[in-house]
Structure 1
């Protein structure tokens, strides 16, 4: 039986590396796409270099590889950068998605595409819910994917994960805090962990669970469907720092710039994950794996 050919954009990013390894182990022929020449720790995962904002490069990429499935992870996902250069965020997150879907439509219209959006989208019916240019770019990305599915009857599924955490190179708050703790342990850094707001609240989902969910969507997701992928449990950042304190080899204090209570938003956990997995990776296990990853970087 021929292996399904899966093209993963953003293959060398935080989620992309996990996705490449997961789908390779699941029996897919994986082709990773990166803007810069890169390698992944597997000789069987081929990396193609392509600037997704270059329509011609992207068309050539799809024509050359003719994938059966596409996992679109690439994008600009740093909120502060979207304030500094909002047009770049729009170009990377919206136009690259349009170019990609159009290349698929022209070259392999039967291909199933999973577009990964963001839980930080705003309500298009209420512009006052727009918080930053990143939110605008991800909202438009999803609208583009919905439009190509509707207008051209393409097989497109959309997923919006919550805050992804786990081992790997990430600019997320859990990874940044774990790095500070690892520096205390191994480099003798000041034994103080400073946080903007310990009472800020987030729904944290392990990236490995998210990638497993993406595989489920490839197998069971209906075209045109949109899936929120969450644990259903919001946590204060204080829970992150407390978990780090519990497993660190050194004692440290935690300081908060402000303690502004954010209301925890209760959402039902993703049926997609609960119905198909015995249990999500426990939050404490995710934090431990993140800290071990950061320790290994400093050894």
Structure 2
């Protein structure tokens, strides 16, 4: 039986990844920072602090995982502008100790490490469809921290012969996602209106932008397949290869509510340099692993809507 360790297991993607691995016969351990360990069904939890690589080294020697999925970090682009130092500490400095802890451990020769990055690494100037060969020019602290992580991951593969794979995931969506992300924000507003908690008016920005959305349940399937079939020392996009207008996302969510909702433009929500189209290519991961998204967008949105309706 393969043994997996998920850092950030209590987070949005971490919980789904744990379920996916358990369903496929893995023994799953979850790491969380001190004070934040919550129960996750079927997962054996350990405390993981990233203050020194020696502590990580000891944990790796004790646990001896076959694969480490590194999901832990600060995940909000918006918040990264307000907490730049915290973002780099969580996404980069902690990851350096994780990499060094594995490098100095007894499992260095056989363990695979997947570092989870973001499409934000490419930045707004990237031409869609974005491939792994597109020039990366991140334009916010979150994207820059993930880009630095990816470069470190690849450097440790080349210099120390570690089995590292870096993943650049595009927009995750799904039930259980917190506010601060477009589908969750829209779904909460729509369900609050459906419940009579808000007046039937939504104030929105530019809805013409087209983005790449993938259900989190498909995203974590890609992570597992990359461990099982991916090539160490490589970067892979995880995305749908489709672009969808934000307006279509909102219209679909509103259609579930069966109430009339007026849309009004809020100038404060308009972005001066908004990128109209931004989507990736999943050709590389599909060729290597056979992975493709399986959950239709409308199903994802309906699941998100129902989750907020019941009070997520």
Relative to structure 1, the CA distance from residue 255 to residue 270 in structure 2 (aligned partners, 3 Å threshold; closer, same or farther) is farther
CA distance in 2 between counterparts of 1:225 and 1:103 reads: 21
* TM-score (normalizing by structure 1): 0.90
Specify the alignment match of 1:188 in structure 2: 197
1:221 aligns with one of 230, 244, 253: 230
Seen in structure 2, the aligned counterparts of structure 1 residues 136 and 64 have a Cα distance that, compared at 3 Å, is same
SS at match of 2:104: helix
Greater shift, 259-268 or 276-285, is seen at 259-268
Which residue pairs with 1:200 in the alignment?
A: 209
- Determine whether 1:286 maps to 2:275: no
- Residue 153 of structure 2 corresponds to 145
TM-score by length of 2: 0.86
CA offsets 1:131-170 (integer angstroms, 9 cap, x no match): 2111111110101101111100111111111011011133
Match of 2:166 among 135, 158, 163: 158
Structure 1 residue 88: deviation in Å?
1.4
**SS at the partner of 1:281?**
coil
RMSD: 2.5
Counterpart-to-counterpart distance in 1, 2:189 and 2:27:
38
User: Which residue pairs with 1:252 in the alignment?
Assistant: 261
Distance 2:164 2:187 in 1: 36
Report if aligned partners of 1:94, 1:138 keep a CA contact under 8 Å in 2: yes
What stretches of structure 2 of length at least 5 have no aligned partner?
124-133
Matches within 5 A, 1:109-188: 109=108, 110-122=110-122, 129-170=137-178, 171-188=180-197
Q: Does 1:46 align with 2:54?
A: no
TM-aligned CA distance change 1:199 to 1:77, over 3 Å: same
Q: 1:162 and 1:278, CA in 2 relative to 1: closer, same or farther beyond 3 A?
A: closer
Shift of 1:53: 4.3
Q: Which runs of 4+ in 1 moved over 6 A?
A: none
Structure 1: distance between partners of 2:51 and 2:245: 37
Distance across 1 between alignment mates of 2:226 and 2:292: 17
Between the two proteins, the alignment pairs up a number of residues equal to 294
CA contact (8 A) 1:82 1:89 kept: yes
